[in-house]
Structure 1
Amino acid sequence: MHEWDQVRARQAAAAQARAEAAAAQPVAEVPAAPVAPIVLPAPRPAAVTPAPEVAHVNDDQELVVSEPPSKIAPPKMSGLSAARDE
């Protein structure tokens, strides 16, 4: 039972220290002023403007590739997978 007496004595000392610390705190005499909420104005709607005129586009053009796809080299791999393949 001697150990329990020591535990109770430590708990009592801790409670006493907490009570003294709470008593030493200054008392707030004036309550804090309430903070007004920050209100932002609503976003304005975008101005309605007509779409710009698009110049005539020639859809009859063909895509020209300088090299046939078979002569274009595939991209080189980097990192661990390239070292593993070698």
Structure 2
Amino acid sequence: MMGLPEAELDRVRDLARSVAAHRRAGGELDSLPVPQQIAVQGMGEAERQVFLEELARADAAHGRAGFHAALGQWHAGRPDEPDPEGVP
């Protein structure tokens, strides 16, 4: 992908997942650990593209997990019997 070596792809993907977790915990980019800030600021175009794609993937996966959890809770609370008024 994008001509980056596999080790570099892994490093950028790991960084993106770490940044996504940091943001979900309420952190901002300015409060990232300094080595991560330096890594993000020093990215070239190919690295930045991979980083943004992985960041979007991580955010989407987290959103899907939350949605599935909420759906499971909602479904567990539904009665097993049909509604007497015929409302599904």
TM-score normalised by the chain length of structure 1: 0.37
Larger radius of gyration: 1
Higher helix proportion: 2
